[in-house]
């Protein structure tokens, strides 16, 4: 006999539902920007959702957070100053703080409430938000990025989906400002949605089009995130000159001795080898 049938469902499309059995709802808060929930689940451990969209699960967040940080850090292990936009759960910060050479991380998160909830309920990701190199700015990332010039070696746009609070982060103006804010060897990494379901692939194409118009080098890499729609997820890699593959400094990165669960330097190269249909979608978006 089942003791409780309580299910969180995300509609991946109007015709596809992904449902997770919930043991218990740990918190539900209506913030100024979005509704924030944390669930306890058997399959995925704690699960964070924003406005009903799954953001982070304890079971597979390592994939997202390793891939969004170690890929640029292995291309340029000398990165010192990082700007992270979004990322209220802290997972990206956790991975970045593992690099001793990183001197300062500016984290710009619009929703103070998300950080508060994650500190309380998701220590697995939020554990390094108190690191002294981390400076949290509770502001709109869109505005924040207008000011700095030639300042950051790395910008990570760890945003929610391109509707709701994260909407502006997928525009041309925004990516232009990112370019300006980056140093000569600067890298921009962004959450890039997925190539599979209609709405996701349109967001992917839109983002790619805008980044490509702002950066000389712009590509995407892929990974498996089972709890995201289709499980086929992309991040964008853009730069003023560094190539994500040719400039990979595998030896140096491996010399750091960082233990990872998903990322390695072979997989780094493999992740940039995209299926034909994804390459075609990206090309199409640039027309």
| CA–CA dist 228, 242 (Å, integer) | 29
191-230 mask for a copy of itself (x: CB under 8 A)? -----xx------------------------x-x-x---x
**Residue 109, CA distances (Å) to 97, 99, 234 in order:** 17, 22, 22
Give me the active site residues, please: 158
Considering only 25, 150, 213, 243, the residue that binds a copy of itself (CB under 8 A) is 25
Residues 159-198 binding a copy of itself (CB under 8 A) are 163, 196-197
Residues 123-152 binding a copy of itself (CB under 8 A) are none
Pick the closer one to a copy of itself by CB: 106 or 111. 111
Q: Residue 284 is inside which H or E element, if any?
A: helix 276-286
Name 124's bridge partners: none
Pick the closer one to a copy of itself by CB: 277 or 283. 277
Pick the closer one to a copy of itself by CB: 10 or 151. 10
Residue 224 neighbours by CB under 8 Å, 6+ apart:
63, 231, 232, 233
Please work out the total of residues on this chain that contact a copy of itself, with binding judged by CB under 8 A. 61
Residue 70 neighbours by CB under 8 Å, 6+ apart:
95, 253, 258, 260, 263, 268
| CA–CA dist 92, 280 (Å, integer) | 30
Q: How far is the CB of 79 from a copy of itself (least distance, A)?
A: 22
Pick the closer one to a copy of itself by CB: 16 or 149. 16
Residue 88 neighbours by CB under 8 Å, 6+ apart:
109, 111, 114, 115, 118
Q: Does 111 bind a copy of itself (CB under 8 A)?
A: no
Q: What angle do CA 230, 234, 238 make, to 5 degrees?
A: 170
Q: Residue 27 is inside which H or E element, if any?
A: strand 16-30
Q: Does 17 bind a copy of itself (CB under 8 A)?
A: yes
Q: Does 262 bind a copy of itself (CB under 8 A)?
A: yes
Residues of this chain that bind a copy of itself (CB under 8 A): 1-11, 13-25, 28, 35, 37, 41-43, 49, 51-52, 60, 63, 163, 196-197, 222, 224, 226, 230-232, 260-264, 266-277
């Amino acid at each position: 006999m089942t003791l409780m049938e309580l299910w969180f469902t995300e509609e991946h499309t109007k015709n596809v539902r992904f449902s997770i059995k919930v043991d218990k709802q740990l918190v539900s808060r209506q913030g100024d920007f979005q509704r924030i929930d944390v669930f306890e689940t058997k399959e995925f451990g704690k699960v964070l959702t924003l406005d009903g969209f799954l953001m982070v699960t304890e079971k597979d967040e390592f994939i997202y957070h390793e891939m969004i940080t170690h890929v640029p850090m292995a291309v340029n292990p000398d990165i010192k100053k990082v700007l992270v936009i979004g990322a209220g759960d802290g997972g990206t910060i956790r991975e970045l703080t593992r690099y001793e050479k990183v001197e300062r991380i500016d984290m710009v998160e619009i929703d103070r409430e998300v950080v508060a909830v994650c500190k309380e309920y998701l220590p697995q990701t939020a554990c390094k938000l108190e690191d002294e190199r981390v400076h949290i700015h509770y502001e709109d990332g869109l505005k924040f990025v207008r000011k700095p010039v030639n300042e950051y070696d790395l910008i990570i746009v760890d945003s929610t989906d391109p509707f709701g609070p994260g909407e502006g982060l997928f525009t041309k103006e925004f990516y232009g400002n990112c370019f300006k804010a980056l140093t000569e060897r600067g890298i921009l990494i962004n959450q890039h949605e997925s190539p599979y379901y209609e709405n996701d692939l349109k967001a992917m194409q839109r983002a790619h089009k805008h980044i490509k118009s702002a950066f000389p080098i712009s590509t995407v890499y892929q990974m498996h995130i089972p709890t995201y729609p289709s499980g086929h997820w992309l991040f964008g890699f853009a730069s003023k000159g560094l190539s994500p593959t040719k400039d990979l400094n595998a030896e140096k990165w491996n010399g750091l001795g960082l233990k990872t669960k998903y990322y390695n330097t072979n997989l780094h190269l493999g992740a940039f080898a995209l299926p034909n249909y994804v390459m075609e979608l990206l090309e199409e978006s640039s027309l």
